Amino acid sequence: MLHVVLSLLLVVPGMMGNTVGYLGKSVNLSSESNSTLKIIKIEWSIFSNPTWIATYKDNVINTNRLQQFENRLRLNSSTGDLEIRDLKKTDEMEYSVLIKYDTETQHNNKVKLIVTGKDINYNHYSY
């Protein structure tokens, strides 16, 4: 089911608020946090049973929580944005972020990342 959905999304990358990245390049996943508030905690995760991939807590950034993303993540602790470098096809999935501000309010965002590469048939774009 998820595979079918992702295949459909591949045909129309960039639509429905998806983020598009290119194989071997970098991409920024936006937390869409409120820039006027100070962030004290960030948790980026994947899957519905959350697996943390990057966190910021007590002023400590941890971006090496999962081997799949080892040395490829950079977390911006002031914006909550997550940069993924050297993109792989297996990075194509849905990411969630939970932001906690010093006002004790929270913010959630989900980002669907689409990874495209040289092998994409560009005829799919015009229809």
What residues make contact with ligand NAG under the rule CB under 6 A?
A: 26-28, 34, 36-37, 76, 78-79, 81, 83
Nearer to ligand NAG, 30 or 96 (CB): 30
Nearer to ligand NAG, 100 or 126 (CB): 100
Least distance to ligand NAG, CB of residue 37, Å: 5
Q: How far from the centroid of its chain's Cα atoms is residue 26's Cα?
A: 11
The strand pair at 19-22 and 106-116 is best described as parallel
Exposure string of 52-69, with b = 16+ CB inside 10 Å and e = fewer, is ebbbbeeeeeebebeeeb
Least distance to ligand NAG, CB of residue 42, Å: 12
Backbone angles phi, psi at 96, to 5 degrees: -120, 145
Nearer to ligand NAG, 76 or 96 (CB): 76
Nearer to ligand NAG, 28 or 55 (CB): 28
Tokens describing residue 104: 């004790």
Least distance to ligand NAG, CB of residue 39, Å: 11
Backbone angles phi, psi at 97, to 5 degrees: -135, 140
